[in-house]
Amino acid sequence: MEEKQHKQAIFGWTMYDWANSVFATTIMAAVLPVYYSSVAVNRPDQPELATAYWAYTTTIALLLVSLLGPILGTMADFVGGKKRFLSLFVVIGAIGTALLYFVGPGDWMLASGFFIIGSIGFSGSLVFYDSLLPHVARSDEMDKVSSRGYAMGYLGGGLLLAVNLAMIMLAPDELTQLMTRISFLTVAAWWMVFTIPLWKFVKEPKRSLMEGEQGHENPVAAAIRRLGQTFTSIRQYKELLKFILAFWLYNNGIGTIIYMASIYGAELKFGQTTIIGTLLMVQFVAIPFALLFGWMGGKFGTKKSILISLGIYTCIAIGGYFMQQEMHFWLLGFAVAMVQGGSQALSRSLFGRMMPKSKSAEFYSFFAVSEKIAGTVGPLVFGLATQIFGGGRMGIISLVIFFILGGLLLTRVDEKAGIAVAEAEEARLAGEKA
């Protein structure tokens, strides 16, 4: 019975990747950026304006998440509410997504506002979703479970994107905008419905009180105090801290490519079929590669596998600068599919092994918030470079520095030492409770 529940919990956890990835595909990457550029902004004389506005919108969304995450993450550990907080952000994200239905021609500010609400729900929910991983998967299976989650996400996100594309591209011209807006509603509904397996099969981890804490005290006050202790205690996890800094850097490049690829393609006047078709291809090609990286993490080491992905990302950014033809967009999309899921899945599992499990929401919120604060730099640099130089080529080439610096710092991380420190701290905390 225990093994059956363990498998059900893994299934429920990975299904949330299936549920939320439709926001990443239809809203972040494929349909909304094109609609934002061609309808909401609608400035064919200055296509770079849509690219810049989208970059700034993304930056604002990430900053707002970074302000909310630390307190909520530590509160979730204190009150034992990881699933409850995840549910709150799912509802916020689904509402923001559904409201995009009401965006019409010239409503770029409205589109930006609703996208920011949806992004807060999406990114906020991932803090608590990631924090459940060490409670769902055993230490020796975290690479595979994390990678399986990404593979499920690519499959789910790709399937709904295919449906949405069929709705949009097969509709008569006068109904194209309506079908696009309806696709935003399908994302909200899919997100809510397929979160149900997580709600059903993943148990809420036990409440974790630290030494000297009183269970009845104000959760906000306790969260603020814990947050201060986290910033202080993080220094004892030297390898984890080095990894976070490396991740800050290279994830800037990864995140910016995800957010900006479609709108950059639109700026280069590539056809909608090429832009959205490439992103659809990425969803399905990425599935076996995400699973491959899960295997590589066990075979060659998690850190080495991440470094391989960063080398490929560096080549992608350089290729993006020289991109001229639509075929180049397809080829670079295939390259992104090779490494996108694997690099992020292995980063998530490596972080999970180098922290105490009983502080998972606290540490994952620190990780996610730090990522979001640092992650605003990539889109901001991209947007500024686009406006200053009159196009996105300088923006895409600027990402190379994030991959190179992040990779160099990652080579300095001793993952075995980091895992040993986390295991010792978890044993100490367990001894205090006993």
pLDDT value for 216: 61
Average of per-residue pLDDT across 390-416: 88
Q: Would you say residue 389 lies in a domain?
A: yes
Whole-angstrom distance, CA of residue 352 vs CA of residue 363: 9
Average of per-residue pLDDT across 360-386: 69
- Give 194-222 as a DSSP string: TTHHHHHHSPPPPP-PPTT--TTS-HHHH
Q: Predicted confidence band at 67 (pLDDT cuts at 50, 70, 90)? A: confident
Q: Would you say residue 367 lies in a domain?
A: yes
Whole-angstrom distance, CA of residue 277 vs CA of residue 290: 20
Q: Which of 50-54, 286-290, 404-408 has the highest average model confidence (pLDDT)?
A: 404-408
pLDDT top residue among 248 and 139: 248
Least Cα distance to 180 among 253, 305, 272, 86 occurs for 272
pLDDT top residue among 14 and 123: 14
pLDDT value for 29: 78
Q: Would you say residue 212 lies in a domain?
A: no
Least Cα distance to 301 among 338, 350, 256 occurs for 350
Query: Three-state SS for 107?
Result: coil
Give the residue numbers spanning the domain of 193: 2-197+233-433
Q: Would you say residue 354 lies in a domain?
A: yes
How many structural domains compose the chain?
1
| Side-chain-side CA neighbours of residue 168 (13 Å) | 23
Outline where 137-233 has alpha helix (H): 142-169, 176-193, 196-201, 219-233
> What's the whole-number average pLDDT of the chain?
84
Q: Which residue has the tokens 């019975």?
A: 1
Q: Would you say residue 301 lies in a domain?
A: yes
pLDDT value for 214: 61
pLDDT(434) > 60: no
Average of per-residue pLDDT across 24-47: 84
Q: Predicted confidence band at 91 (pLDDT cuts at 50, 70, 90)? A: very high
Q: Predicted confidence band at 210 (pLDDT cuts at 50, 70, 90)? A: low
Average of per-residue pLDDT across 114-138: 87
pLDDT value for 133: 83
Q: Would you say residue 211 lies in a domain?
A: no
Percent pLDDT > 70 in the chain is: 86
The CATH number of whichever domain residue 402 belongs to comes to: 1.20.1250.20
Least Cα distance to 352 among 13, 12, 1 occurs for 13
Average of per-residue pLDDT across 15-19: 96
Whole-angstrom distance, CA of residue 104 vs CA of residue 60: 22
pLDDT tens figures, 333-356: 999 989 987 888 888 788 878 887
Average of per-residue pLDDT across 53-68: 80
pLDDT value for 180: 95
Model pTM score: 0.73
Average of per-residue pLDDT across 165-180: 91
Q: Predicted confidence band at 14 (pLDDT cuts at 50, 70, 90)? A: very high
Q: Would you say residue 40 lies in a domain?
A: yes
Q: Would you say residue 203 lies in a domain?
A: no
